[in-house]
Structure 1
Amino acid sequence: MTLARKATLVSTATATLLVFIKLAVGFVSGSVAVLASAIDSVLDLIVSAFNYFAIRKSEAPPDELFNYGRGKIEALAAVIEGTIIAISGVFIFYSAIKKAYEGTVMTHVDTSVLVMLASLCITVALVLFLRHVARKTGSLVIKSDALHYQTDVFSNGAILFSLGVVYFTEFELIDSIVGVGIALYIIHSAYGLVKEGVYILLDAALEEEVVGRIVHIIEEEKDVSSFHNLKTRRSAHTNYVDVHLVFNAKMSLLQAHSATDNIEAKIRAIKEDEVWDMNIHLDPYDDSKEEEALRDAPLAQQ
């Protein structure tokens, strides 16, 4: 079993533990913040279980149906997870406003404080573990899982603060105020996660810095006259690069191939811990204008 899949099992087990603890205390105390945190943990459990499935499928090798593998399942999982996180944020926002309007009073505040303190410590340990796995594997699913539980760290800290205020001052409105703050933070975090997943699904180019370094590597190769049709994208742990390199027509295929190998080696060195899949076309002259004319021809006929 890979490290990424083990990480999803750990997060699933942790979420299960937190669900039972928070739900019990949330219903007993009447705290909208604790109950919101419990609901968020239920979603964590569902998402972590889904992540295990997503990573298992994304690790499957390419086959006749999926020639490029199933790496984009991770991006799809990130979009689904981000959407679930956003929905939970909206529900928490609604619950906080409802409690403020109805003026519900909390009970068993001291027990709630102890539970949320324990929950905070457990979640911090899980986030540190998931971050470590994300750095080692480069998995977008694990990265999104770490982000998800990171929001829990902030929300648990905020809930502890609100419970402390209620315990010492009986200022009940702070529970709703903190609930609204947590909801807005969760929705904001979900937006970034969904955006990253959608970009991968739509084959967005690699980071501007990485593309710039690729261009620099190609331009500094003395045997390359020019280049065109540079395209980049990412899927799971693989970076894809397509480009046409123009060489002198009188240059031998062996020399051109050697220059191409040199370029590929330098590009792979940009991120050595990631997989690179490069499709480099060798041209004896710049045919970019011809290709552009062929692409525009069907439009002209219409």
Structure 2
Amino acid sequence: MDQPDVVPVTARAPAETSLAKSAAAASITVAVVLVSLKAWATWKTGSAAMLGSLADSALDLVASLVTLFGVWYASQPADREHRFGHGKAESIAALVQVMLIALSAFGILLRSTQQLLAGARVEAPAEGIGVSVVAIVLTFALLAWQRYVVARTNSVAIKTDHAHYQSDLLLNLAVIAALALDSYAGITGADPVFGLAIAGWLGWNAWQASREALDHLLDREWPEAKRRRFVEVAARHPELANLHDLRTRTAGHVDFAQFHVDLPEEMTVGQSHDIIERVEEDLLREFPGLELFIHIDPAGHVDEPGNTLVEQDEFAALASGEDGA
């Protein structure tokens, strides 16, 4: 008897969307305040490091606006044209942030090099240091809220924004050190040297932040530990055999998984449905919000001879301690 495909649909939690939007809005608010303060401090000091910090905060503002749009668009329900939802919008937003961070790093690099060659000195260091201290306090508060939101939503866009603002802490400390060394210790060139270091740090941060977004856009499989846990939960059901063609991915904060599994050919549609319902409930309890697709094969059926990915028995790999992927 032919067996049914089972495709449960799970809704995204409105609370998670609200949290992600609140983090993006908080990021925009902090960026507006910091751009205003740092523009004034740059005008007062003429510091290359402060200019770099200003450029970074200005791009923070643009990136945060992109993040807010990405989070909002990703939260839209699936429709006729996007039946898997819009979760990848978060990854696109994250990549836009990465490009802005890279541009910021390049601009700071050029300005710092010019300042270093010209032997320029900073003025009014106290104002610049005061603004940097305010920036550190505001950034600490924002990071705390972002950590809370990421822990509950796993939003890749907020993660990227969080990574960027983490670098802002070091950036503002570097500005303080540059101003102090240049003005109070009399070390000529300290300010542009710190500016160059900031540019390098931002470039590295852009590279790191791009990796997860690209993984989501390219439908990279889940980490092996998470994938293995998924198979372990399914293996709690002894009625199932030969779990194969397991494919997993993540889009935004939504996980997707699909697999084939064998059931006895003589089993009725109703019996197989009841078994798969229990399997689904168990997996969704362990992986909340998961979008799950399960295809049933009659025992002994071969899907695609020669395709090692399709025919890999995940239960057998789990029992032998091998990687299933």
1:278 and 2:278 aligned? no
Match of 2:258 in 1: 242
Superposed CA deviations along residues 98-120 of structure 1, whole A, max 9, x for unmatched, are 21111111111111111111111
Match of 2:115 in 1: 99
Superposed CA deviations along residues 243-269 of structure 1, whole A, max 9, x for unmatched, are 000122233434433332333233223
Superposed CA deviations along residues 276-295 of structure 1, whole A, max 9, x for unmatched, are 111100111243453657x9
Q: Secondary structure at the match of 1:125?
A: helix
Q: Is the 8 A contact 1:226 1:286 kept in 2?
A: no
Q: From 216, 223, 228, give the equivalent of 2:232.
A: 216
Distance in 2, Cα, partners of 1:91 & 1:12: 22
Q: Is the 8 A contact 1:219 1:226 kept in 2?
A: no
Which is richer in helix? 1
> Which shifted more, 54-63 or 129-138?
129-138
Distance in 1, Cα, partners of 2:169 & 2:57: 12
Superposed CA deviations along residues 3-41 of structure 1, whole A, max 9, x for unmatched, are 222222221121111111111211321111100000111
Distance in 2, Cα, partners of 1:130 & 1:215: 31
Match of 2:21 in 1: 5
Distance in 1, Cα, partners of 2:100 & 2:169: 18
Q: How does 1:64-103 map to 2 (within 5 A)?
A: 64-103=80-119
Distance in 1, Cα, partners of 2:303 & 2:18: 47
Distance in 2, Cα, partners of 1:291 & 1:261: 29
Q: Is the 8 A contact 1:210 1:270 kept in 2?
A: no
Q: How does 1:144-163 map to 2 (within 5 A)?
A: 144-163=160-179
Distance in 2, Cα, partners of 1:139 & 1:110: 38
**Unmatched 5+ stretches in structure 1:** 296-302
Change (3 A) 1:172 1:120: farther
1:202 and 2:218 aligned? yes
Q: TM-score, structure 2 length as denominator?
A: 0.84
Structure showing greater relative contact order (alpha-carbon pairs closer than 8 Å, 6 or more residues apart):
2
- The AA in structure 2 aligned to 1:262 is R
Match of 1:298 in 2: none
Q: Secondary structure at the match of 2:304?
A: helix
Give aligned pairs, total. 292
> Which shifted more, 197-206 or 136-145?
136-145
- The AA in structure 2 aligned to 1:146 is H
Match of 1:225 in 2: 241
Q: From 201, 224, 227, give the equivalent of 1:185.
A: 201
Aligned-pair identity in percent equals 27
Distance in 2, Cα, partners of 1:178 & 1:154: 11
Change (3 A) 1:93 1:277: same
Distance in 2, Cα, partners of 1:176 & 1:197: 32
Match of 1:115 in 2: 131
Distance in 2, Cα, partners of 1:49 & 1:290: 46
Q: Is the 8 A contact 2:263 2:299 kept in 1?
A: yes
Distance in 1, Cα, partners of 2:295 & 2:24: 40
RMSD (Å) for aligned C-alpha atoms: 2.0
**Unmatched 5+ stretches in structure 2:** 1-16, 310-325
Q: Is the 8 A contact 1:3 1:133 kept in 2?
A: yes
Residue 270 of structure 1, CA deviation: 3.3
Superposed CA deviations along residues 112-164 of structure 1, whole A, max 9, x for unmatched, are 11111111111111111122122222222122111111111111112112222
Residue 78 of structure 1, CA deviation: 0.6
Residue 86 of structure 1, CA deviation: 1.5
Match of 1:164 in 2: 180
